[in-house]
Amino acid sequence: DQQVKQNSPSLSVQEGRISILNCDYTNSMFDYFLWYKKYPAEGPTFLISISSIKDKNEDGRFTVFLNKSAKHLSLHIVPSQPGDSAVYFCAASAYSGAGSYQLTFGKGTKLSVIP
């Protein structure tokens, strides 16, 4: 059973417009959420995160919104740039015992920003 879902495998956006990537989760024990960006043939790199006690976190062009009641988060990229074209993974963290916090990843959304 998928605990973190990214229902859009791909998204195309014009350069300069807003990109909105969505993520839903089912486990109410998740207390921290992260977005990773991945280019082909590279490892994922951390982009932005949000604690479950907040509903918004902003870093430059990137903003993450969290709606706990709906178990939904979204990543907004404004304005979108061609260099933002990558696969974006949503991840959620929960305590798994013995001092360990594990990340559960969604399947990713491939963003294409068209010049």
Placement of tokens 């074209």 in the chain: 85
Is residue 98 involved in binding other proteins (CB under 8 A)?
Answer: yes
The angle at the Cα of 30, spanning 26 to 34, to the nearest 5 degrees, equals 100
| Selected range binding other proteins among 11-19, 58-66, 75-83, 96-104, rule: CB under 8 A | 96-104
In angstroms, what is the minimal distance from the CB of 76 to other proteins? 20
Interface mask toward other proteins for 44-83; x: CB under 8 A? xxx--x-x--------------------------------
Q: Would you list the DSSP string of 58-95?
A: EETTEEEEEETTTTEEEEEESS--GGG-EEEEEEEEEE
Could you say which of 32, 57, 68, 71 contacts other proteins (CB under 8 A)? Answer: 32
Kindly state the DSSP code that residue 2 receives in the 8-state scheme: -
Could you say which of 80, 106, 111, 113 contacts other proteins (CB under 8 A)? Answer: 106
Conformation bin of residue 15: beta by default, left when phi > 0, alpha when psi is -120 to 50 = beta
Distance between alpha carbon 68 and the CA centroid of its chain, in Å?
Answer: 15
Q: Give the interface with other proteins as residue ranges (CB under 8 A).
A: 4, 9, 32, 34, 36, 41-46, 49, 51, 89, 93, 98-103, 105-108
